[in-house]
């Protein structure tokens, strides 16, 4: 039996985005969060088949468009990635919205604006176009907050680290430069990958954050190594680790949101401040602290992130049950 998926492939600031434009399964659920659970229970083979090798790779990431479950939203997005079905993905949203608009899959009621339902909540999009190209997408993201401060972990190969945990649509362990971590270039990509899994495990053993309003969103899934900027005009640089071997090529939308919440919580950013975030490969998102808010009983911020994406081509992908590797593999 052969399943066919019509995809638009591309990237946001260097990180892959696969918009699955045809072949999405029908999902049950009264919200995108419930649909995410239904997808994970019944259709996770689609995610692994499209994201893992041989049809994907360690960084593969993307999503499906769905009709929203709420009247105040224009579209719904379900994200897929090597690490799972994320509650929210910033670089994924920028890519999916760009490709969806450029190819007529998304029809906005008001030009330049969209309201999108994602599993983590509702986000607002403002986009710009030039001719038939979408040139920038700004996401006003879900409320973001700091879940834990000053968590001390002992990690084989690097020693003691002090870490804060912040939420920006996913939960991030954030490591700032300190005694045993002196910056991204001192470690390099291969070493970052080797250490990140261990650091994440050590943090998970100490903290299990749970979203104040949606208990299906829980646990530290990502790691953000923060650093000083490398190029003119940037305010900070990062390497975000996800899955088992991926360093985000983009500055990471939910990672940037978590970092903004973290910097605001530490009193280093205030409402209205802009923060240009550089990725490991030097691509950029513009972040901003839009507003202060409350999430459950926690002080939080509303962050925004702005960036752009490029489609690289159409990709018709088969998942054939007769293929030994029909649902993908990881090494
Ligand atoms: O941009 O939010 C993001 C993201 C999450 C994982 C990789 N990128």
Ligand 1: atom nearest CA of 61 is 7
User: What is the rounded distance in angstroms from the CA atom of residue 78 to the CA atom of residue 73?
Assistant: 14
pLDDT single digits (tens) 278-291: 999 999 999 999 99
User: Strand pairing partners for 151?
Assistant: 163
What distances in angstroms separate CA 86 from CA 108, 119, 220, 327, one per listed residue?
24, 8, 12, 19
Model confidence band, residue 16 (pLDDT cutoffs 50, 70, 90): very high
Please identify, by atom number, the ligand 1 atom nearest to the C-alpha of residue 248. 7
Give the Å distance between the CA of 120 and the centre of ligand 1: 13
Token pair belonging to 279: 């990725």
What is the average per-residue pLDDT within 39-51? Answer: 98
Cα 246 to averaged position of ligand 1 atoms, centre (Å): 11
The 10 Å Cβ neighbour count of residue 299 is 14
- Name the DSSP letter for residue 84: B
State residue 39's pLDDT score.
98
Ligand 1 lined by 90 (C-beta under 6 Å):
yes
Q: Residue range 206-213: average pLDDT?
A: 98
Alpha-helix runs per DSSP H in 225-291: 253-265
- Nearest one of 306, 208, 313, 214 to 260, comparing CA atoms: 306
Q: What pLDDT is attached to residue 263?
A: 98
pLDDT band at 327 (very low <50, low <70, confident <90, very high): very high
- Ligand 1 in reach of 285 Cβ (< 6 A): no
Please give the distance, rounded to the nearest whole angstrom, from the Cα atom of residue 1 to the centre of ligand 1.
Answer: 33
User: Region 269-284: what's the mean pLDDT?
Assistant: 98
- 66 token code pair: 């769905």
What does the pLDDT read at residue 253? Answer: 98
Distance 198 CA to ligand 1 centre (A): 20
Test site for ligand 1: of 10, 61, 95, most ligand atoms within 8 A of the Cβ = 61
Measured CA to CA, the distance from residue 127 to residue 280 in angstroms comes to 25
Q: How confident is the model at residue 33 (pLDDT cuts 50, 70, 90)?
A: very high
Model confidence pLDDT, tens digit, residues 145-167:
999 999 999 999 999 999 999 99
Q: Which residue's CA is the closest to the ligand 1 atom numbered 8?
A: 252
Cα 160 to middle of ligand 1, angstroms: 27
Across the strands, what pairs with 195? none
Instruction: Evaluate: CB of 251 within 6 angstroms of ligand 1.
Output: no
CA Rg value for the chain:
19
pLDDT score recorded for residue 318: 98
**What pLDDT does residue 96 have?**
99
Whole-number mean pLDDT of the chain?
98
Write the DSSP string, 150-178: EEEEEETTTEEEEEEEEESSSEEEEE-SB
Residue 96 sits at φ, ψ, to 5 deg, of -65, -45
Locate the ligand 1 atom nearest the alpha carbon of residue 252 and give its number: 1
Torsion angle in degrees (nearest 10) through CA of 276, 124, 221, 315: -90
Q: Kindly write down the DSSP assignment for every residue of 28-48, as one continuous string.
A: --SSHHHHHHHHHHH-HHHHH
- Residues, the chain: 331
Distances (CA, A) of 88 to 154, 167, 169, 325, 329: 30, 11, 5, 28, 24
pLDDT in tens, 227-241: 999 999 999 999 999
Q: Is the Cβ–Cβ distance between 152 and 160 less than 8 Å?
A: yes
Helix (H, G, I), strand (E, B) or coil at 200: helix
Instruction: Quickly state the pLDDT bin for 174 (edges 50, 70, 90).
Output: very high
Give the pLDDT band (50/70/90) at residue 259. Answer: very high
pLDDT in tens, 73-130: 999 999 999 999 999 999 999 999 999 999 999 999 999 999 999 999 999 999 999 9
| Ligand 1 atom with the shortest distance to the CA of 92 | 1
Could you tell me the distance, in angstroms and rounded to a whole number, from the CA of residue 228 to the centre of ligand 1? 20
What is the biggest distance separating any 2 CA atoms in the chain, rounded to whole angstroms?
57
117 in ligand 1 pocket by Cβ < 6 Å?
no
Neighbours of 165 (CB within 10 A): 22
Is 252 a catalytic site residue?
A: yes
- CB of 137 closer than 6 A to ligand 1? no
* Confidence at residue 234, expressed as pLDDT on a 0 to 100 scale: 98
**Inter-residue contact 172 to 147 (CB < 8 Å):** no
Distance CA 276, CA 263 (A): 13
Please work out whether the CB of residue 242 comes within 6 Å of at least one atom of ligand 1. yes
Q: Assess whether the C-beta atom of 252 lies below 6 angstroms from ligand 1.
A: yes
């Amino acid at each position: 039996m052969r399943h066919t998926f019509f995809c638009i492939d591309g990237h946001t600031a260097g990180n892959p985005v696969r918009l699955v434009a045809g072949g999405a399964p029908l999902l049950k659920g009264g919200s995108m969060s419930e649909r995410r659970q239904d997808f994970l229970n019944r259709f996770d083979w689609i995610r692994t088949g499209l994201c893992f090798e041989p049809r994907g790779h360690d960084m593969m990431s993307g999503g499906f468009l769905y009709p929203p479950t709420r009247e105040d939203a224009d579209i719904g997005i379900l994200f897929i990635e090597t690490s799972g079905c994320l509650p929210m993905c910033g670089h994924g949203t920028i890519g999916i919205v760009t490709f969806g608009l450029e190819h007529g899959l998304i029809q906005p009621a008001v030009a330049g604006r969209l309201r999108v339902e994602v599993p983590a909540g509702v986000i607002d999009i403002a986009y710009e176009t030039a001719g038939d190209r979408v040139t920038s997408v700004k996401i006003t993201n879900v409320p973001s907050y700091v879940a834990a401060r000053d968590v001390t972990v002992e990690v084989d190969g690097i020693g003691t680290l002090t870490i804060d945990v912040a939420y920006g649509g996913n939960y991030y362990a954030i490591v700032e430069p300190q005694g045993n971590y002196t910056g991204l270039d001192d470690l390099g990509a291969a070493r970052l990958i080797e250490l990140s899994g261990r650091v994440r495990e050590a943090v998970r053993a100490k903290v299990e954050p749970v979203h104040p309003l949606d208990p299906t969103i829980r646990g530290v899934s990502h790691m953000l190594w923060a650093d000083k900027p490398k190029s003119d005009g940037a305010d900070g640089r990062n390497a975000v680790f996800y899955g088992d071997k991926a360093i985000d090529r983009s500055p990471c939308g939910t990672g940037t949101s978590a970092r903004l919440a973290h910097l605001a919580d530490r009193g280093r950013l205030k409402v209205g401040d802009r923060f240009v975030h550089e990725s490991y490969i030097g691509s950029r998102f513009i972040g901003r602290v839009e507003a202060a808010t409350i999430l459950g009983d926690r002080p939080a911020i509303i962050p925004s992130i702005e960036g752009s994406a490029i489609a690289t081509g159409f990709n018709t992908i088969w998942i054939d049950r007769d293929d030994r590797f029909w649902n993908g593999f990881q090494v």
